[in-house]
């Protein structure tokens, strides 16, 4: 960790995101006092490259990042109407994620920072998700975050930049992963989440008695593998599947996931109040947050507690460069930068993210 100057005025950060199957670059302007605006946000999806395999292939993803990242960055700079000289810092997702892609993005950020003599900020991808609500809604600390994507399912207490309390997480599959595997099992294609949600709208959620794993426990952890297995067994019993069978299986699965989320979030919010105090909001992030059935559950749980649900726009819930740039701005504003020899990390728990040292009170 390096301590740079603390910014209280305008600064501009380039953010680079390459942890999975989106190649993204963005420019975000920090206008002081944790306020900002997005100047550009270019996202190039690799869905087409991975669709035939039913999931992300790490080697293909890394190669695609290598081939397209410079073009994506150039477009982001052009849309913002800025040159590298205008930057105050370069932020890149340094993990967690697919290590090949992480290396590509972080190496590019190091090169830009070195050549143009700019601060480097190695951003934890999960922290970027955790802080996005501050960019979009100005959400004040402390708040409770429900992070649900293809690779992550966590309930977190967000007490400050670099200050996170893990309240619960998945012990096996992430929710997004479970949706994708359900879609693959039922022959719906990839990415599976939106396809399962679409089928569920015309199905009967009561037809199949699927389990609600982990509900009722005093911790806030999730488990999705048993639910996924139960769905497969039900599908095998009635194979070959008709279109109606597929819709009913999707509806039953989505209903089960929603009830699990409701139970786990109620527990997580109770733990938050016991350990931190009253949250300012319930914040959701990750691609699963775009699912409308789950979104209704989140609204209900927030209403029960008497707080607002903060849901950034879908384009900022999934992986994107703007969230990396914003997290970089939040960290740079506290004087947190990184050396050029910082290593990429495939695994990087939020508990290990560096936070700014406490400041002494002025006498």
**191 CB-side CA count, 13 A:** 16
- The pLDDT score that the predictor gives to residue 363 is 38
Exposure string over 86-122, b if 16+ CB within 10 A, otherwise e: bbbbbbbbbbbbbbbbbbbbbbbbbebbeeeebbbbb
Angle between helices 243-275 and 292-305 (to 10 degrees): 30
Domains of the chain: 2-135+316-352 (3.30.420.40), 141-315 (3.30.420.40)
Angle between helices 125-137 and 321-333 (to 10 degrees): 90
DSSP H helical segments within the chain, as ranges?
Answer: 47-50, 58-80, 99-116, 125-137, 175-185, 192-200, 225-238, 243-275, 292-305, 314-317, 321-333
CA geometry: angle 193, 18, 89, nearest 5 deg: 130
pTM of the model: 0.92
Distances (CA, A) of 120 to 80, 160, 342: 20, 21, 10
Query: Which residues does 197 contact at the CB level (< 8 Å), separation at least 6?
Result: 179, 250, 254, 291, 292, 293
| Rounded Cα distance, 53 and 262, in Å | 32
Q: What is the mean pLDDT of each run of 10 residues along the chain (363 residues)?
A: 53 96 95 86 82 74 92 98 98 96 97 98 96 95 93 94 96 92 92 93 97 96 95 97 98 97 98 98 90 95 97 90 97 95 94 73 39
| Rounded Cα distance, 104 and 108, in Å | 6
| Rounded Cα distance, 345 and 12, in Å | 25
- The pLDDT score that the predictor gives to residue 248 is 98
Closest CA to 17 of 257, 227, 315: 315
The two structure tokens encoding residue 40:
């550009």
């Amino acid at each position: 960790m390096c301590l740079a100057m603390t910014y209280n005025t305008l600064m501009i950060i380039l953010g680079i995101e390459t942890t999975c199957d989106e190649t993204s670059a963005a420019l975000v302007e920090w206008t002081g006092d944790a306020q900002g605006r997005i100047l550009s946000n270019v996202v190039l999806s690799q869905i087409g490259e991975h669709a035939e395999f039913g999931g992300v292939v790490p080697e293909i993803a890394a190669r695609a990042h290598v081939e397209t990242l410079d073009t994506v960055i150039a477009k982001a700079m052009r849309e913002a109407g800025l040159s590298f000289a205008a930057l105050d810092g370069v932020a890149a997702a340094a993990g967690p994620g697919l290590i090949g892609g992480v290396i590509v993005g972080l190496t590019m950020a190091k090169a830009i920072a070195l050549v143009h003599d700019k601060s480097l900020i190695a951003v934890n991808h999960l922290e970027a998700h955790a802080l996005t609500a501050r960019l979009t809604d100005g959400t004040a600390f402390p708040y409770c975050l429900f992070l649900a994507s293809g690779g992550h399912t966590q309930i977190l207490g967000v007490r400050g930049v670099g200050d996170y309390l893990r309240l619960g997480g998945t012990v096996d599959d992430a929710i997004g992963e479970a949706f994708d595997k359900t879609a693959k099992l039922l022959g719906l294609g990839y990415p599976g989440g939106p396809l399962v949600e679409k089928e569920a709208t015309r199905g009967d959620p009561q037809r199949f008695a699927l389990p609600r794993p982990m509900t009722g426990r005093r911790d806030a952890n999730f488990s999705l593998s048993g639910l996924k297995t139960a769905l497969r067994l039900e599908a095998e019993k009635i194979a070959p599947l008709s279109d109606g069978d597929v819709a009913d299986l999707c509806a039953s699965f989505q209903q089960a996931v929603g009830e699990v989320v409701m139970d786990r979030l109620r527990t997580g919010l109770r733990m938050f109040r016991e350990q931190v105090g009253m949250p300012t909001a319930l914040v959701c992030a990750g691609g699963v947050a775009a699912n409308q059935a789950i979104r209704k559950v989140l609204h209900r749980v927030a209403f029960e507690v008497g707080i607002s649900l903060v849901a950034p726009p879908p384009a900022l819930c999934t992986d994107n460069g703007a969230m990396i740039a914003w997290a970089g701005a939040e960290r740079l504003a506290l004087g947190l930068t990184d050396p050029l020899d910082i290593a990429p990390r495939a695994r990087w728990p939020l508990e290990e993210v560096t936070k700014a040292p406490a400041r002494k009170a002025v006498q």
